[in-house]
Amino acid sequence: MNNPIKVAFFGECMLELNGPAFGVMQQSYGGDTFNTAVYLSRCGGGVIKTWYATALGDDALSLELERRWAQDGLALDLVLHIPGRIPGLYQIQVDAQGERRFSFWRDNSPAKAYFEVAQTPLEARSNEWDGFYFSGISLAILPVNGRNRLLAFAQALRMRGATVVFDNNYRPSLWPDITVARDCFSRAFAVADTALITADDHQAVYGLASLKAAVAAAQALDVFEVVIKRGAAPTLVRSGSGPWHSVPTQTVANVVDTTAAGDSFAAGYLSRRLRGKPPEEATQFGNRLAARIIAHCGAIIPLEAMTDLL
Ligand code: ADP
């Protein structure tokens, strides 16, 4: 790639176990920012290059994860290795009603310790990044000092004109309490120039009375570019002082698995915006990509199942 658009992500990718407790389980891997990085790499039209910044252990599972991430198209030279740690893990179980339940083992996962070195490779190479992407989960997994470092890094990037994208994924169980989460989310919006908002997460973080109130609050955010996702309802987007556009989602006859709906939307959206396409067109493509992902099982669907979109 000559002069690619360089985008760095920070977050955690965990091992995934999928299947009934004490039964036969399928092993895979995933994580919100990771899913977006992989889909952006696939949709980048050969001009966007994606780096995944995280920490892993020095065990065989960590090495195998890295081997697979490289096959997924990610650049790995921002990955740190913390001796003695092993990757986080989650299990997905589907109950009798078809509801998915997640259990996590991530309290001691290496990604939490990414900012415990004097300077991370992400920070050391801060002049290189055209874009930086993080989420509410990226912030949630870090200790206070790590969160401050991440936000300061994002702000420095933004000040020199890079695209800083914040996705408001909110997992209450990862936060000590909601006021800490709220404060961090507000700081993240202050350093981002693009906010990708899931309306119900915005409602939950800010304790808003209704989804309507959450959409109104998201529309009032002081962020240059805002996208508001509302499941199957039309996606709302506004850039700068431009008008709000309402972009219909695709009709999906058979929703198989909504894992990574928002993550893949983000990748589709950015794959177009980073190449200068208008917000409405980018949103259309994000909706198309997300519709394809939710018609398949798992966070990362096979490349063959989406080549016609690329
Ligand atoms: P998140 O996955 O972040 O919770 P949403 O549930 O709002 O976010 O979904 C993200 C995107 O996935 C939507 O903006 C839309 O493009 C697509 N999507 C989600 N659910 C549906 C659906 N039932 N039909 C069509 N598209 C959907």
Residue nearest to atom 10 of ligand 1 (CA): 262
What's the pTM value of the predicted model, to 2 decimals?
0.97
Which ligand 1 atom is at minimum distance from the Cα of 286? 16
CA pair distance 160, 248, nearest whole angstrom: 34
CA pair distance 91, 18, nearest whole angstrom: 6
Per-residue model confidence (pLDDT) at position 279: 98
**What Cα–Cα distance (Å) separates residue 278 from each residue in 25, 84, 132, 153, 284?**
43, 47, 19, 27, 10
Q: How confident is the model at residue 16 (pLDDT cuts 50, 70, 90)?
A: very high
Q: Does the pLDDT value for residue 260 go beyond 70?
A: yes
Indicate which residue of 177, 183, 263, 308 is catalytic: 263
Instruction: Read off the pLDDT of each residue in 254-262 and give the average, rounded to a whole number.
Output: 90
**What Cα–Cα distance (Å) separates residue 79 from each residue in 8, 121, 307?**
11, 8, 28
Mutate to test the pocket of ligand 1, among 137, 228, 237, 258 (most ligand atoms within 8 A of CB): 258
- Ligand 1 — pocket residues by CB below 6 A? 198, 229-232, 235, 249-250, 252, 255, 258, 261-262, 265, 287, 290-291, 294
263 catalytic? Reply is yes
Residue environment code for 68-103, b if the CB has 16+ CB neighbours within 10 A, otherwise e: ebeebbbbeebbbebeebbbbbbbbbeeeeeeeeee
Average model confidence (pLDDT) across the chain: 95
pLDDT digits over 47-76, tens only? Answer: 999 999 999 999 999 999 999 999 999 999
Per-residue model confidence (pLDDT) at position 21: 83
| Domains in the chain with CATH codes | 5-305 (3.40.1190.20)
Q: Which is nearest to 153 in space by CA: 134, 175, 140?
A: 134
Query: 89-94 and 100-105 as β-strands: parallel, antiparallel, unpaired?
Result: antiparallel
pLDDT digits over 85-125, tens only? Answer: 999 999 988 776 666 788 899 999 999 999 999 999 999 99
Query: 48-53 and 5-10 as β-strands: parallel, antiparallel, unpaired?
Result: parallel
Q: How confident is the model at residue 252 (pLDDT cuts 50, 70, 90)?
A: very high
**Sign of the dihedral through C-alpha 86, 88, 91, 92:** negative
